[in-house]
Amino acid sequence: MVKEPAVGRVKTRLARDVGPVRAAAVYRSTSASVLARIDRRGAWHTELGVTPDRAVDSAIWPKRFKRRAQGNGDLGRRMQRVMDSAPPGPVVVIGTDVPSIRPAHIQSALRALGSHDAVFGPSPDGGYWLVGLKRRPRVPRAFACVEWSSRAALKQTLANLSHLKVAQVAALDDVDEARDLASVGHTVGRIVLPVTG
């Protein structure tokens, strides 16, 4: 899931702390780093779920990635749409505001879907940076009635999947507020990404 890194329209909570220009720059660098790191052609197929829809053809992302518009609605409706429109087989959806995502995290999630119906990568703030579904059985309302950007997001999503076998992978921090920058390797004065591997 990617968002056009337009000033004033991305990372709005972070923007309250560091300003909209710096918040957009942080998201732009973080998302570019994540996409470069997880591009493992042959191991899995990566597609971009883009918002807003008009940005689906933007030159900001590498041309090699297939893209699809996320469409309207809250985050849950948009994630469900991405899941439903993907080719057959397991699907893992990640956020691109988590600088510490590595290919090993994606591999771990895909392995978990071999023996589980769903997998989550929890965030310390009560949300999650990754969700994966085997999609057999199909879960039509996996993301319904979830309070997004709240400490209850993971718990509420898990309640929607209570009848399924669910796994969890590593907990990682996303970047929502200025205090998150230090924990993931950024500084507020200048953007510094953590060492990739």
**Domain chopping of the chain, boundaries:** 2-184
Contacts of 118 (CB under 8 A, 6+ apart): 131, 132, 133, 134, 139, 142, 161, 164, 165, 166, 167
CA nearest to 149, candidates 13, 5, 4, 3:
13
DSSP one-letter string for 51-95: ESGGGGG-TTS-TTSEEEE--SS-HHHHHHHHHHHSPSS-EEEE-
Q: Report strand pairing: 91-94 vs 118-122.
A: unpaired
User: What distances in angstroms separate CA 70 from CA 4, 81, 84, one per listed residue?
Assistant: 12, 7, 11
Which CATH superfamily hosts domain 2-184? Spore Coat Polysaccharide Biosynthesis Protein SpsA; Chain A (3.90.550.10)
Q: What pLDDT, on the 0 to 100 scale, is given for residue 76?
A: 96
Which pLDDT belongs to residue 195? 37
Whole-prediction pTM: 0.89
pLDDT, position 72:
95
Q: Which residues contact 28 (CB under 8 A, 6 or more apart)?
A: 5, 60
Per-residue pLDDT at 43: 85
| Residues shown for the chain | 197
Find the mean pLDDT for residues 66-74.
Answer: 94
**Tokens for 84?**
């439903």
Q: Which residue has the higher pLDDT, 194 or 16?
A: 16
Would the pLDDT of 186 be above 60? no
| Tens digits of residue pLDDT in 82-132 | 998 888 889 999 999 999 999 999 999 999 999 999 999 999 999 999 999
Is residue 82 exposed (0-12), middle (13-18) or buried (19+ Cβ within 10 Å)?
buried
Residues 44-56 pLDDT 10s: 999 999 999 999 9
Q: One-letter amino acid identity for 194?
A: P
The tens digit of pLDDT for each residue in 122-140 reads: 999 999 999 999 987 777 7
